Amino acid sequence: MNLYVESLRQMFGAEPRKPGKEDFTEEARKLHEFKNTPEQRAERRRLIAEELAHKKESFSWRKWRWPTIIFVNLLFVISYHFDVQLVEGALTASRVIGFHFADLNSSLQVTLAFKEMLINLVIGTATVAVLWWLVGGRSFCAWTCPYHLLSEWVEMLHVRLAEKGWAKDYQLHRGVRTVLYVVFALLAFVTGYTVFEWISPVGITSRALIYGTLAGMIWVGVLLFIELFFIRRFWCRYMCPIGMTYAFVGSVSPTTVHYDLSKCLHEGECRKVCLVPHVLEITKKGRATRPHIDIGADCTRCAMCIEACPTGALTFRVKGLDKLL
C-alpha cells in the first residue's frame, strides 16, 4: 500500500482501506504478532485501565492554538480600526507589512472567475503556499481559521448535549467535500463570480470581525446550529473546500504528526478527540503496515491526539531535523 496515495484517497473522501497481508513490512508484522501474545494482551489491558483511571482532561495545546487564532485575526481588526497598515485586508487576501498574502482557495476562485493571473495574486498565493507547506496538513484550519475556533467551541457543547441525548451526530459521506470543490470551481469559471466566497463562513467571519459586516453571520449561525444539534463538524468535515486545498499543499510537508506502532496501546483515545478521525485509522489494532508512519494529509495538526495519547505513540516530527536532534 502506497501511504501517500492512501492519504490522498482519504482526503478526497474515500474510506480508509483495510490493508492486506502483502502490505505489512516484516517489522510491522512481527510487532503485531508480539502484541497479540496472551501476555501482551493482558499487559495492554492493565496499562489501558491504569491510564484511563488517572486520565485528566488537558488543554495544553489548545492554550497555544486558541490564542494563535485569536491573535492572527485580531491583527486584522486592530490594523483596520487604528489604521496602522500593519495587516491590510482579510484572511482571503491581505498585505502584511507590504507583502502580499492570498488564500489558496480564494486565489483559485478568482483565477477561474476572471480567467487571468495577476502578479500580486501569484506572489501572494506562492507565499501562502510555501508557508503552509512548511507547517503541513490542514494547519490553517486548526491554527488560523476563525470559523474553526467557533466550530470547535460548538463541538465541545455538542459532545455534552449528545451524552444527554439532546443532540445527534448524523454521518455524511466525506466525498461531498470533493464534489463541492469541483462544483464551486465550475461555478466560478462559468459565471465569472467567486460564488464560494458568498457562502464561505471563513471569509464571512473574518470580514465580520474586521469590518463589522454582520449580515452574513446569520448564515454562520445556521451552520453552527446544525453542528450543535445534528452533524458534528458539519462544515469542516464534509463541506469546506478550503481545508482540502491546504491538505493537498501540506501533503508533502516536512512537518508531520508521527505514529510509532511499538508504543501504541490501541485504546482509541486519540480518535475520540481527533477533528478528522479517519486519519488515525492506522492506530487501530492490526492496521499499521509499518512501525513508523506519518499521519495523512487531511490532518489539521491540532495536536489533540498527541495530547490524548497516554504512551507518546503520537508526536510532532520535522523530517531531517529529528535526525539532527
In tens, the pLDDT along 131-161 reads 999 988 899 999 999 999 999 999 999 999 9
- How confident is the model at residue 1, as a pLDDT? 64
Query: CA 197, 88, 130 angle in degrees (round to 5)?
Result: 75
3-state class (DSSP) for residue 294: strand
Give me the mean pLDDT over the 281-308 stretch: 93
Give me the mean pLDDT over the 61-83 stretch: 92
Residue 324's pLDDT band, with cuts at 50, 70 and 90, is very low
Other CB atoms within 10 A of residue 115 CB: 9
- How confident is the model at residue 253, as a pLDDT? 92
Q: Which residues of 12-22 are buried (b: 16+ CB within 10 A; e: fewer)?
A: bbeebeebeee
Nearest to 87 by CA among 264, 16, 98: 98
Give me the mean pLDDT over the 206-226 stretch: 93
Rounded to a whole number, what is the largest CA-CA distance in the chain? 68
Confidence check: pLDDT of 325 > 60: no
Confidence check: pLDDT of 263 > 80: yes
Location of C-alpha cell 467535500: 177
Location of C-alpha cell 481545508: 243
- How confident is the model at residue 144, as a pLDDT? 95
